Chains A and B, each alone.
Chain A
């Protein structure tokens, strides 16, 4: 976060400089005052459009219910409380249980997806064999097939495996659904590593697999982190499969747990917003720290 702030400061210093030098030059090509007003107006509007819901989420979670349910709404709050947070933690199934479940599911499924797709991606990126192009296309095609299109058969399979109402079923589906992403992103990254570095490893006496383990993977840490984070995010967000597999409240992941809050409390918005905020914070922190790693994943598109 500090890094991001520093960069922002640096950037704004540069921008300010150029604004000043522009003012001194006073050329007609430089933007007019009117232009700049319009520009900042648009930027302000965009940021408001983007940020207001989050602002409202934070406000709702920290003001007392009496302030919440009144008109006009307390757009600028004056009273603060942590009651909503306390309540979701003191609920029959405390909120941190959902948090923990989601965390476990996301970490395990992402780790497995990364682990398996490293090898597959290397195979796609570096080795030549008949059928490779076909498989690459097949994996990309799987991108089109969203969860909802297979929800019935996969539910049937999970029933047949006897995994209904276990976190294992959720882990497995999240794991497998993020493999194509890993194959695609890591494959692209491996292709960007100069071939000669791996060839040097071969010549230095190591086999392909040893080169992969001792050179390619250590060199690809940024990409591996990116894939891990992105699959973590997908798992953290996933609602559909978690909601049909899980029945026991103690096993709920965050999305199901938060949804369930609705039925547990009256006038739920304070509690729901508190829970939503707790769910959002880890993602935002992750993003702030690792923005550049995550860009590749974000450009790949959504999965749920």
Chain B
């Protein structure tokens, strides 16, 4: 393998994949930095798994090229790419013991029997699966299988880890524990990792950078912070965050400001660059302040903009906080609040955090908001 050292371990250029009439991946460009933990996130059918499988060499792009460390691998067979992969269903070899499963990837490496044993021991120790070595995959629990699959991935110490929803078959609690272990492991080994998931919380907690995909296209690439705080378009904004972002259609803008007529007497007014005929204003439920109706008002001084009063329609306790649905006229928004500001049917004060207001233009693209 030529070691033309570039910053990027893997680079996809104008990659398209079609299955018959269906375009799974539509002309994407993607560069994976050396050593980073990159997560492909998106709803099912968005093309993230196909992208991963093309990096693996299990699918061949219809168009475009894939490079690894500067050399073209588009037509290179998967077994020659020096990468390893965890499959969603783990794909352990059912007829082999755990030890043989771990040893199998070493079979094609130019190492001695002792070195292979050492590598297997290292991986088993790292993952704490020493006592499983003699078992067959069928005798293991879901979590144990997941560990063995991970062991098989790291044992060869390849250049690149690929992971296709490796945690989706675990129960909720185990999933949370395992993902932080996974992140530690990756940092310890420093191996470039491309990870596919549809679970945004998982993606947020584990990724160095997140690639958000929809409909075969990349919607945004950035750190978890960036994609959450500054979504590039309406899709990213609505896909990330739980509950989803509130959107309000605005009146036509003039003079670089848009008006969202959620409330009276005051319109929510936001300044943007240029004139925008149709736009939407978005605010996350976390950024909505709700107070009792007789309160002195929203914390205006802290950058909040007061919207005035809305009617409290429902209160759903979530355990750590409450999900509130508020209505006024035709408009309805969701807010998250630590405590209950009143009773259902009460008029309450509502305010938005000005710095957290997003505006999306005609083509759903995010517009930069003037402070």
In the complex, whether A53 has a CB less than 8 A from a CB of chain B is no
In angstroms, how far is the closest chain B Cβ from the Cβ of A69? Answer: 57
- The reply to whether B105 and A205 contact each other, CB–CB distance below 8 Å, is yes
Chain A residues with Cβ below 8 Å from B156 are 204-205
- The reply to whether A196 and B79 contact each other, CB–CB distance below 8 Å, is no
With A194-B89, A196-B87, A196-B89 as given contacts, are A202 and B95 in contact (CB-CB < 8 Å)?
no
- Which of the residues A199, A201, A204, A219 comes within 8 Å of B94, measured between beta carbons? A219
- The reply to whether A205 and B79 contact each other, CB–CB distance below 8 Å, is yes
In the complex, whether A203 has a CB less than 8 A from a CB of chain B is yes
In angstroms, how far is the closest chain A Cβ from the Cβ of B228? Answer: 32
- Which of the residues B79, B94, B152 comes within 8 Å of A202, measured between beta carbons? B79
Q: Mark B76-101, 1 if CB is under 8 A from A, else 0.
A: 01110001110111011111000000
Chain A residues with Cβ below 8 Å from B172 are none
Q: How far, in whole Å, are A207 and B107 apart by their CA atoms in the complex?
A: 12
Chain B residue nearest in CB terms to A197: B91
Please count how many residues in chain B sit with their CB below 8 Å of the partner chain's CB atoms.
Answer: 25
| CB interface residues, B 28-85, toward A, < 8 Å | 56-58, 77-79, 83-85
With A199-B78, A199-B87 as given contacts, are A206 and B93 in contact (CB-CB < 8 Å)?
no
Q: How far, in whole Å, are A143 and B42 apart by their CA atoms in the complex?
A: 48
Q: How far, in whole Å, are A204 and B78 apart by their CA atoms in the complex?
A: 9
Q: How far, in whole Å, are A199 and B54 apart by their CA atoms in the complex?
A: 12
- Which of the residues B79, B87, B89 comes within 8 Å of A207, measured between beta carbons? B79
In the complex, whether B109 has a CB less than 8 A from a CB of chain A is yes
In the complex, whether A218 has a CB less than 8 A from a CB of chain B is yes
In the complex, whether A200 has a CB less than 8 A from a CB of chain B is yes
| CB interface residues, A 29-68, toward B, < 8 Å | none
Chain B residues with Cβ below 8 Å from A196 are 87-89, 91
- Which of the residues A200, A201, A207, A221 comes within 8 Å of B77, measured between beta carbons? A207
Chain B residue nearest in CB terms to A193: B94
In the complex, whether B370 has a CB less than 8 A from a CB of chain A is no
Q: How far, in whole Å, are A221 and B91 apart by their CA atoms in the complex?
A: 18
Q: How far, in whole Å, are A123 and B327 apart by their CA atoms in the complex?
A: 62
Chain A residues with Cβ below 8 Å from B94 are 197, 219
- The reply to whether B58 and A206 contact each other, CB–CB distance below 8 Å, is no
- The reply to whether B95 and A204 contact each other, CB–CB distance below 8 Å, is no
- The reply to whether B87 and A200 contact each other, CB–CB distance below 8 Å, is yes
- The reply to whether B107 and A200 contact each other, CB–CB distance below 8 Å, is no
In angstroms, how far is the closest chain A Cβ from the Cβ of B273? Answer: 48
Q: How far, in whole Å, are A197 and B83 apart by their CA atoms in the complex?
A: 16
Chain A residues with Cβ below 8 Å from B56 are 199, 203
- The reply to whether A206 and B107 contact each other, CB–CB distance below 8 Å, is yes
In the complex, whether A157 has a CB less than 8 A from a CB of chain B is no
Q: Which of B88, B104, B152, B156 has the most chain A CB atoms closer than 10 A to its own CB?
A: B104
- The reply to whether B91 and A200 contact each other, CB–CB distance below 8 Å, is yes
- Which of the residues B84, B88, B89, B93 comes within 8 Å of A203, measured between beta carbons? B84
Q: Mark A195-217, 1 if CB is under 8 A from B, else 0.
A: 01101111111110000001100
Q: How far, in whole Å, are A176 and B208 apart by their CA atoms in the complex?
A: 59
- Mostly, the A contact residues are helix
Chain B residues with Cβ below 8 Å from A206 are 79, 107-108
With A205-B107, A206-B107 as given contacts, are A200 and B93 in contact (CB-CB < 8 Å)?
yes
- The reply to whether B108 and A215 contact each other, CB–CB distance below 8 Å, is no
Q: How far, in whole Å, are A205 and B79 apart by their CA atoms in the complex?
A: 4
Chain B residues with Cβ below 8 Å from A202 are 57-58, 77-79
With A194-B89, A196-B89 as given contacts, are A203 and B95 in contact (CB-CB < 8 Å)?
no
Chain B residues with Cβ below 8 Å from A203 are 56, 58, 78-79, 83-85, 162
Chain A residues with Cβ below 8 Å from B162 are 203
Q: How far, in whole Å, are A197 and B145 apart by their CA atoms in the complex?
A: 14
- The reply to whether A204 and B87 contact each other, CB–CB distance below 8 Å, is no
Chain B residues with Cβ below 8 Å from A218 are 95
In angstroms, how far is the closest chain A Cβ from the Cβ of B106? Answer: 9
- Which of the residues A194, A197, A204, A219 comes within 8 Å of B108, measured between beta carbons? A204
| CB interface residues, A 219-235, toward B, < 8 Å | 219, 221
In angstroms, how far is the closest chain A Cβ from the Cβ of B91? Answer: 4
Chain A residue nearest in CB terms to B85: A203
- Which of the residues A194, A204, A219, A221 comes within 8 Å of B104, measured between beta carbons? A204
In angstroms, how far is the closest chain B Cβ from the Cβ of A221? Answer: 8
Q: Mark B227-243, 1 if CB is under 8 A from A, else 0.
A: 00000000000000000
Chain A residues with Cβ below 8 Å from B107 are 204-206
Chain A residues with Cβ below 8 Å from B78 are 199, 202-203
Chain B residues with Cβ below 8 Å from A200 are 85, 87, 91-93, 152
Chain A residue nearest in CB terms to B108: A205
Q: How far, in whole Å, are A282 and B339 apart by their CA atoms in the complex?
A: 79
Chain A residues with Cβ below 8 Å from B84 are 203-204
- The reply to whether A204 and B77 contact each other, CB–CB distance below 8 Å, is no
Chain A residues with Cβ below 8 Å from B77 are 202, 207
Q: Apart from A203-B56, A219-B94, list 8 A-B contacts with CB within 8 A.
A: A200-B91, A203-B58, A203-B84, A205-B108, A205-B109, A205-B156, A207-B77, A219-B93
**Residues in B lying within 8 Å of A, measured CB to CB:** 56-58, 77-79, 83-85, 87-89, 91-95, 104-105, 107-109, 152, 156, 162
Query: Across chains A and B, which 4 residue pairs bring their CB atoms closest together, nearest first?
Result: A205-B108, A196-B91, A204-B105, A200-B91
13 contacts between A and B (CB under 8 A): A194-B89, A196-B88, A199-B58, A202-B58, A202-B79, A203-B58, A204-B107, A204-B108, A205-B105, A205-B108, A206-B79, A219-B93, A219-B94
